[in-house]
């Protein structure tokens, strides 16, 4: 952390800039702290364990079949909580508002989107071994440690570069248009959730206002009756005898109604329950939108980087000049560490997105189940 000394006589702008600088490490600390939580470690270990099983199954199937199976993770089945079958059962058993059903479907779709991104990451790591092999071969040619086989090594390099130029971009599985479509639909869902909650809040406010007006009217009516009885008592002997009984009866009825109103105020109406549920769901969708937007930018950057690598490999193969492939190899080597860091950063964000999806789904489900009992 950077410690900035506070000097007297500094301008307000300088102090604000210092505060901004000192707050940045705090944000980074909070960001890093998210990766140290027990929930994140659990979901990471669960994903890595399932990834190992998927790799083993893929290798076994590839060894017993002439055509290898497509790489697929399907981590949603193992990481999504509460599990989708539980949510489906709850939806069928309870009369949930259709917007809450839409929320759970959106969270499932976001989880499947994270699944696809992880597939792209792990496919890219497997494909990246080709680049590592090419760089290693190029160093042997460049160092001249095996001059007799230089041409053989160059042929191997061009063969690997040709395969690299023709390989499918793993990050094409989720296009920019797909992300934009998801973003637009989630924005629409967020607006509908907030709009429905505002309408529900207005109805609740109107209902509370009507109750207050009704309570005031009830008090006024009882006071008017009591005054009328007192007037009657002064003008009638019979009224003087009957008035205490009537007054006590009216007072008892009045107190009974007040107790009923107080007891009703402690309960939670269906509109209040719906308002709370919509509020939690809207917050969950808002977080989903931000997470997916962040991952969309990261996927786009990696997609463009892979396309750039493929283009360089294609140019190298078509020109067949040693100066060009040496320059390409140098660029591959210089950017390899940065590229792997970007892959790791994206993977961390995917696991964080799984974590926030699960937390949001649990909160919405908890809100539904608590208010139903």
pLDDT, tens digit, for every residue of 215-238? 666 667 666 666 666 666 656 554
Tell me what percent of the residues of the chain surpass a pLDDT of 70. Answer: 66
Tell me the mean pLDDT in the region 329-355. Answer: 91
The 8-class DSSP code of residue 65 comes to S
330: CB partners within 8 A, 6+ apart: none
CA-based end-to-end distance of the chain: 49
Give the count of alpha carbons within 13 A of 144, CB side only.
0
How far is 112 from 173, CA to CA, in rounded Å? 12
Q: Do the beta carbons of residue 339 and residue 262 sit within 8 Å?
A: no
Burial code (b: 16+ CB inside 10 Å, e: under 16) for 219-255 equals: eeeeeeebeebeeebeeeeeeeeebeeeeeeeeeebe
How far is 295 from 74, CA to CA, in rounded Å? 19
pLDDT, tens digit, for every residue of 188-219? 999 999 999 899 888 877 777 677 766 666 66
The DSSP annotation for 90-147 comes to HHHHS---HHHHHHHHHHHHHHHHHHHHHHHHHHHHHHHHHHHHHHHHHHHHHHTTTG
How far is 299 from 123, CA to CA, in rounded Å? 14
Nearest CA to 46 out of 70, 20, 15, 74 is that of: 74
Q: Do the beta carbons of residue 226 and residue 247 sit within 8 Å?
A: yes
pLDDT, tens digit, for every residue of 87-143? 988 888 888 899 999 999 999 999 999 999 998 998 898 888 888 888 888 777 755
107: CB partners within 8 A, 6+ apart: 284, 288, 357, 360, 361
Residue in this structure with the two tokens 């190899």, named with its chain if needed: 329
How far is 296 from 307, CA to CA, in rounded Å? 16
DSSP run (H or E) holding 12: helix 12-34
The count of other CB atoms within 10 Å of the CB of residue 34 is: 14
The 8-class DSSP code of residue 167 comes to S
Give the count of alpha carbons within 13 A of 364, CB side only.
29
pLDDT, tens digit, for every residue of 260-306? 555 444 445 788 888 999 999 999 999 999 999 999 999 999 999 99
Q: How far is CA 163 from its chain centroid?
A: 37
Nearest CA to 62 out of 107, 113, 126, 109 is that of: 126
Q: Which comes out higher in pLDDT, residue 142 or 370? A: 370
How far are the Cα atoms of 243, 253, 256, 354 from residue 249, in angstroms, in the given order?
Answer: 10, 6, 11, 63
How far is 135 from 275, CA to CA, in rounded Å? 59
Q: Do the beta carbons of residue 317 and residue 158 sit within 8 Å?
A: yes
DSSP run (H or E) holding 180: helix 176-235
Q: Is the pLDDT of residue 61 over 90?
A: no
How far is 120 from 364, CA to CA, in rounded Å? 30
Tell me the range of 87-91, 144-148, 238-242, 345-349 where mean pLDDT is highest. 345-349
Q: Do the beta carbons of residue 154 and residue 138 sit within 8 Å?
A: no
How far is 216 from 221, CA to CA, in rounded Å? 9
Q: Is the pLDDT of residue 39 over 70?
A: yes
Full-prediction pTM beyond 0.85? no
């Amino acid at each position: 952390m950077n410690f900035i000394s506070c000097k007297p006589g500094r301008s307000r702008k300088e102090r604000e800039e210092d505060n901004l600088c000192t707050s940045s490490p705090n944000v980074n600390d909070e960001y890093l702290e998210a990766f140290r939580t027990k929930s994140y470690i659990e979901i990471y270990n669960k994903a890595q364990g399932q990834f190992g099983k998927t790799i083993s199954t893929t290798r076994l199937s590839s060894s017993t079949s002439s055509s290898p199976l497509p790489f697929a993770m399907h981590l949603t089945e193992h990481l999504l909580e509460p599990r989708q079958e539980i949510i489906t059962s709850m939806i069928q058993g309870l009369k949930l508002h259709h917007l809450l059903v839409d929320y759970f479907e959106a969270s499932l779709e976001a989880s499947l989107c994270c699944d696809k991104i992880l597939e792209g990451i792990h496919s890219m790591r497997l494909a990246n071994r080709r680049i590592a092999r090419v760089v290693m071969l190029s160093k042997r040619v460049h160092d001249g440690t095996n001059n007799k086989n230089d041409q053989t090594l160059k042929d191997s390099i061009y063969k690997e570069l040709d395969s690299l130029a023709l390989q499918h971009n793993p990050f094409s599985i989720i296009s920019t248009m797909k992300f934009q479509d998801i973003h637009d639909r989630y924005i629409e869902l967020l607006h509908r959730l907030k709009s429905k909650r505002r309408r529900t809040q207005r109805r609740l406010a109107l209902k509370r206002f009507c109750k207050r007006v009704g309570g005031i009217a009830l008090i006024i009516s009882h006071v008017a009756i009591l005054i009328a009885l007192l007037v009657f008592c002064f003008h009638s002997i019979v009224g003087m005898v009957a008035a205490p009984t009537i007054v006590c009866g009216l007072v008892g009825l009045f107190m009974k109604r007040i107790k009923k109103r107080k007891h009703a105020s402690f309960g939670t109406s269906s509109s209040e329950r719906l308002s709370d549920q919509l509020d939690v769901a809207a917050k969950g969708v808002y977080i989903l939108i931000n997470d997916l937007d962040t991952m969309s930018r990261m996927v786009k950057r990696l997609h463009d980087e892979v396309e750039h690598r493929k283009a360089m490999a294609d140019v190298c193969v078509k020109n067949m000049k040693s100066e060009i492939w040496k320059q390409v190899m140098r660029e591959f080597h210089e950017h390899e560490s940065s590229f792997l860091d970007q892959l790791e950063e994206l993977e961390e964000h995917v696991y964080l997105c799984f974590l926030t999806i699960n937390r949001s789904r649990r909160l919405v489900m908890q809100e539904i189940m608590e208010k139903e009992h």
